[in-house]
C-alpha cells in the first residue's frame, strides 16, 4: 500500500521491528528485495514488523547516502543488507529483533520505583 508517498506493508505502530526498504522506480533488484520482504514478513505474526519504503528519487539525503547501494534494507534504522537480500538472513534478523524486543508498558502513567 502507498501512504504519504511511501510503501507501507503493515501500518501497525505497535510493531516489534521496523524494516525500511530504500529503493527507486524501475530497479529490478529493488523489486526482488520487496518480494523477499513481503514473503518473509507474511510468515510472521501480524504485528511483528512494520515495513516502509522510501525512494531515493524523493529524498536528496537518501539519494546522497544510498544511490550506489540500492536496494537497501534497514532493520530498526540499522543497515541489514544492500544490493542483494537473503531471505534466510532476513528471517533470522527479524526473529532476533523479536526475541530482543523489550515489552512495551501499556500504562504510561505508571510510576517507577
d(CA 102, CA 9): 23
Angstrom distances, CA of residue 20 to CA of 12, 13, 33, 52, 90: 14, 14, 11, 5, 12
Confidence label for 99 from pLDDT (cuts 50, 70 and 90) = confident
Q: Which residues of 29-63 are buried (b: 16+ CB within 10 A; e: fewer)?
A: ebeebbebbeebbeebeeebbbbbbbbbeeeeebe
Confidence label for 72 from pLDDT (cuts 50, 70 and 90) = very high
User: pTM for the whole thing?
Assistant: 0.77
List the domain range (segments joined by +) for residue 30: 2-100
Average pLDDT over residues 81-88: 97
Query: Among 10, 34, 11, which residue's Cα sits nearest to residue 22?
Result: 34
Asked if residue 110 belongs to a domain, the reply is no
Asked if residue 113 belongs to a domain, the reply is no
Number of structural domains in the chain:
1
Confidence label for 112 from pLDDT (cuts 50, 70 and 90) = very low
Asked if residue 75 belongs to a domain, the reply is yes
Amino acid at each position: 500500500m502507498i501512504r504519504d508517498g511511501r510503501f507501507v506493508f503493515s501500518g501497525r505502530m505497535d510493531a516489534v521491528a521496523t524494516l525500511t526498504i530504500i529503493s527507486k522506480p524501475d530497479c529490478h533488484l529493488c523489486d526482488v528485495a520487496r518480494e523477499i520482504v513481503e514473503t518473509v514478513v507474511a510468515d510472521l505474526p501480524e504485528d511483528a514488523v512494520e515495513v516502509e519504503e522510501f525512494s531515493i528519487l524523493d529524498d536528496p539525503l537518501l539519494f546522497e547516502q544510498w544511490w550506489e547501494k540500492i536496494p537497501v534494507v534497514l532493520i530498526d534504522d540499522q543497515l541489514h543488507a544492500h544490493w542483494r537480500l537473503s531471505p534466510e538472513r532476513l528471517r533470522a534478523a527479524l526473529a532476533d529483533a523479536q526475541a530482543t524486543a523489550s515489552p512495551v508498558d501499556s500504562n504510561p502513567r505508571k510510576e517507577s520505583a
